[in-house]
Amino acid sequence: METQLTFYSIMKSFVRGIYVMAVLLVCGTLGSCSKDSMPTLEEGLVGRWEWQQTATNGKPALTPDNTGHKVVVEFDRRGRARFYQDGALVSAAAFSVRRDMGGLGQPSRHIIMYRGYQNNQYYSVIGNRLQLQDTNGKLLAHTYIRVVTEVSAQLPTHKTY
């Protein structure tokens, strides 16, 4: 018995094909946004940050120019923070990051929790700028800029004869 193509059977196959493509598209989209591909709170913080200024309430801002010190903080993927002043390692600490859910009507904030230190810091990363504020209530806002490491690609030299 031969199969006859009717308008109904053609439309049924067409709709089934559209449905299958839509399901595949949705699955592909959801799969590409899996939790594994989303950056964690720590990943935005990881890197080397150079101190730009510390703003205090009602006083002139402290900067490398007026203090005479270059300060760098480095956060690594293993949860270690290293603090340098003028190129010398001053201290290091293990850290973790958590989200502090604000009270009613207040936004949530991210906190860096240092093990072995009394003080923790609120932080935000916007682009290449890191903003730190101590959680102890002091009105100090520390601003850092991400240090981009220079990548040097050396191509092998070929001798021509």
For residues 132 and 38, which has the higher predicted lDDT (pLDDT)? 132
The pTM of this model reads: 0.65
The sign of the dihedral angle between the CA atoms of 48, 131, 72, 112 is: negative
For residues 159 and 89, which has the higher predicted lDDT (pLDDT)? 89
Which 3-state string (H, E, C) describes 23-77? HHHHHHHHHHCCHHHCCCHHHHHCEEEEEEEEEECCEEEECHHHHCCCEEEEECC
Residue 140 clears pLDDT 70, i.e. is over it: yes
pLDDT score for 34: 47
Question: For residue range 112-131, what is the model confidence (pLDDT) as tens digits?
Answer: 999 977 788 999 998 899 99
Dihedral class, residue 63 (left if φ above 0, else alpha if ψ from -120 to 50, else beta): beta
CATH numeric code, 41-146: 2.40.128.20
pLDDT score for 138: 78
- Compute the average pLDDT of residues 26-43: 54
How far apart, in whole angstroms, are the C-alpha atoms of residue 72 and residue 49? 6
CB atoms within 10 A of CB 140: 15
Average pLDDT over the chain reads 79
pLDDT score for 35: 45
Cβ–Cβ < 8 Å for 61, 53:
yes
Cβ–Cβ < 8 Å for 49, 145:
yes
